[in-house]
Amino acid sequence: MSESGMWLEVRPPLLPARYNNHIERTGPVVWFLHTGKCMKTLHAHLDYVTAVHFNRDASLIVSCALDGLIRIWNSSNGQCLKTLAEGHDAIWYVPDRFGSTSIPLTAISIIIFSQHVQFSPNSKYILSTAHDSAIRLWDYQTTRCLKTYTGHVNSKYCISACFSVTGGKWIVAGSEDHKTYIWDLQTREIVQVLEGHSDVVVAVAASI
Between 50 and 37, the higher pLDDT residue = 50
Q: What CA–CA distance (Å, rounded) separates 78 from 37?
A: 16
What does the pLDDT read at residue 150? 97
Q: Report residue 67 CA to chain centroid gap.
A: 11
Strands 170-174 and 60-65: unpaired
Give the tens place of pLDDT for each residue, 110-143.
456 678 899 999 999 999 998 899 999 999 999 9
Q: What is the band of 64 on the pLDDT scale with cuts at 50, 70, 90?
A: confident
C-alpha–C-alpha distance, residues 51 and 143, integer Å = 18
Q: Are 164 and 180 in contact (CB under 8 A)?
A: no
pLDDT tens for each residue of 176-193 = 999 999 999 999 999 999
30 pLDDT band (50/70/90 cuts)? Answer: low
pLDDT of 75 higher than 70: yes
Choose between 94 and 186: higher pLDDT: 186
Does the structure show a pLDDT above 70 at 12? no
18 Cβ contact partners less than 8 Å away, ≥ 6 residues apart: none
Q: Is the pLDDT of residue 94 over 80?
A: no
In angstroms, the CA 50 to CA 27 distance is: 10
Q: Using 50, 70 and 90 to split pLDDT, how confident is the model at 92?
A: very low
CATH number of 6-194: 2.130.10.10
pLDDT score of 13: 32
Q: What are the C-alpha distances in Å from 149 to residues 130, 153, 179, 189?
A: 11, 11, 15, 8
In this structure, which amino acid lies at residue 24? E
DSSP letter, residue 34:
T
DSSP for residue 113 = -
Give the percent of the chain with pLDDT over 70: 66
What pLDDT does 133 receive? 93
Give the three-state DSSP class for 80.
Answer: strand
